[in-house]
Chain A
Amino acid sequence: KQEVTQIPAALSVPEGENLVLNCSFTDSAIYNLQWFRQDPGKGLTSLLLIQSSQREQTSGRLNASLDKSSGRSTLYIAASQPGDSATYLCAVLVGYNNNDMRFGAGTRLTVKP
């Protein structure tokens, strides 16, 4: 059974710091991995999507890596800003044709001015 774990559960950093969020999954048989951002009480905004054949994806100050063999992904945020404060969720797709996406519980990030 696929389980997705995100560590730490919460993180507080001063503005300007570079930071890394971690995601691990128990079964390496995934089709892709997606990182999302969620503001309090709101829906999910997709940040980055990494297919199983890819090693990393970049968008602006965000970089996500994927190591399927070790069951790990990291989300790197450069030069953090207070506007980055949110919960970051990772999810793995375990079923072909967009079936069965499993989520971690998220990391709640606070960036202090």
Chain B
Amino acid sequence: EAGVAQSPRYKIIEKRQSVAFWCNPISGHATLYWYQQILGQGPKLLIQFQNNGVVDDSQLPKDRFSAERLKGVDSTLKIQPAKLEDSAVYLCASSLPGLGGYTFGSGTRLTVV
């Protein structure tokens, strides 16, 4: 079974630029999550999709962050414009309905300079 795929692995941008991250979940996983992990902290949920609908985006800074999951499969997270405090690892995860746990991708490490 292929895992959760994320790209790019690393990204360095200047503040006020835009950036996009891509995630392809495990085949058949209806639920997809984007997490932000700042150095030294645990991951924090940004947005959760069930198929192509948003379940929870309460912690997504909507003035600069956006995410979509067209066709209920892969997803894109965008930041525009980026701030220095957006430097973090962005993690994508997916799961089946129920209580079977999450599977995470390798993450995208973003550095904003």
- Are chains A and B native binding partners rather than an unrelated pairing? yes
Interface membership of A4, Cβ < 8 A: yes
A77 to B41, CA, bound (A): 22
The residues of A that contact B61 with a CB separation of less than 8 Å are none
Q: For the side of the interface on A, what is the size category?
A: 20 to 34
The residues of B that contact A101 with a CB separation of less than 8 Å are 33, 45, 102
Interface membership of A44, Cβ < 8 A: yes
A72 to B64, CA, bound (A): 37
Stretch of A13-21, A34-42, A60-68 lying at the B interface: A34-42
Partner of B97, one of A4, A45, A98: A98
Stretch of B12-20, B73-81, B103-111 lying at the A interface: B103-111
Number of chain B residues whose Cβ lies closer than 8 Å to a Cβ of chain A: 30
Q: Mark A87-113, 1 if CB is under 8 A from B, else 0.
A: 001010100111111111110000000
Question: B39's closest neighbor in chain A, by CB?
Answer: A41
Q: Chain B residues in contact with chain A, CB under 8 A?
A: 4, 6, 31, 33, 40-45, 48, 55-56, 89, 91, 93, 95-107, 109
Known: A44-B93, A45-B104, A98-B95. 14 other contacts (CB 8 A): A31-B99, A32-B101, A43-B6, A43-B91, A43-B104, A43-B107, A46-B101, A49-B100, A49-B101, A89-B42, A89-B43, A97-B99, A101-B102, A104-B42
